Amino acid sequence: MDAEQPRTPIEPVSGQVPNAGQREQWAREGEQWVAEAGRYDTMLQPFGDAVLAAASLSPGERVADVGCGNGALTIDAARRVGPHGTALGIDISTPQVHPFGGGSLDAILSRFGVMFFDDPEGAFANLAGALHPGGRLAFACWQDLFHNEWMLVPGAAAAPHVGLPDMEPGAPGPFALADADRITRLLTSARFHDVTLEPIARPMRAGSDVDDTVAFFESTDIARRLMADAPPGKITAALDAVRTALLPYASDDGVVLNGTAWLVTARKP
């Protein structure tokens, strides 16, 4: 059983490699993901559980977790395939592409890891090549920003003071696969069959209290980029606005905001 997290690139063979700016951004985000590993795993576990249930893993199967991050989903998958199976965690590291091919996998999973492909058409075709006939694909990807309180609430509060990030529709990023029709087109183009999308909404515990959640928001790469060129007074005003906006979501259980995703499944014929 292999539940470790080898840092294998997930870009497709035909895709462009990340440029210097993208690599710097991923390095920053990677450090923040490591520092906040427990928080992210708590926030995203309900979605990972839905992916695992949809994948219907069996003992002895070979499975890959694409965009494994800190490896929580990989480890859960390893427990399901057991000592005679293999669970391989894959995430970006060096600026190169990795040709999967081989058709040796029974299933490919992802918990919010497939929205960042520079060339999604090539990436999904590459992943399809890793599956044997009848192999399954199951992943979660975020729906539109306006269906996701975890980003909308703090983002909308901060925006009047520090602006909004550039979010080109379909560009690599958290909401790149928000369009259900685009997901279907991409997977059909990669020759996946039986493509299904199910909307799923889950509560996400973002912090133990409002101050903890504000500090977490401030540490994210998107917040750092928004506030990088803002004067101190604007930054203070933005964080105060975020703190006020989060108050209605705070309780003895912490600060809980909803997240809404697509649970996507498909099969290689």
Query: What tens digit of pLDDT does each residue of 63-92 get?
Result: 999 999 889 999 999 999 999 999 999 987
Q: What is the band of 95 on the pLDDT scale with cuts at 50, 70, 90? A: low
Highest mean pLDDT among 111-120, 158-167, 187-196, 225-234: 187-196
Given a cut of 50, is residue 5 above it in pLDDT? no
Given a cut of 90, is residue 20 above it in pLDDT? no
Rounded distance between C-alpha atoms, residue 75 and residue 85, angstroms:
12
CB burial string 85-94: b at 16+ within 10 A, e below: bbbbbbbbee
Share of the chain above pLDDT 70, in %: 87
Given a cut of 50, is residue 34 above it in pLDDT? yes
Contact 148, 142 (CB under 8 A): yes
- Give 114-132 pLDDT, tens digit per residue: 998 989 999 999 999 999 9
Q: What is the pLDDT of residue 56?
A: 97
Q: What is the pLDDT of residue 54?
A: 98
Q: What is the pTM of this model?
A: 0.87
User: Is the Cα dihedral 232, 234, 235, 240 positive or negative?
Assistant: positive
Mean pLDDT of 43-61: 98
Q: What is the pLDDT of residue 21?
A: 53
Place of tokens 């450090």: 31
Give the Cβ contact number of residue 176 at 10 Å.
21
Mean pLDDT across the chain: 88
Rounded distance between C-alpha atoms, residue 86 and residue 196, angstroms:
26
- For domain 20-144+167-206+257-267, which architecture applies? 3-Layer(aba) Sandwich (3.40)
Given a cut of 70, is residue 93 above it in pLDDT? no
Q: What is the pLDDT of residue 149?
A: 97
DSSP character at residue 17: P
Helix (H) / strand (E) element for 195: namely strand 193-207
Tell me which of 192-201, 221-230, 257-266 is least confident.
221-230
Mean pLDDT of 19-25: 55
- Give 180-201 pLDDT, tens digit per residue: 999 999 999 999 999 999 999 9
Q: What is the pLDDT of residue 8?
A: 35
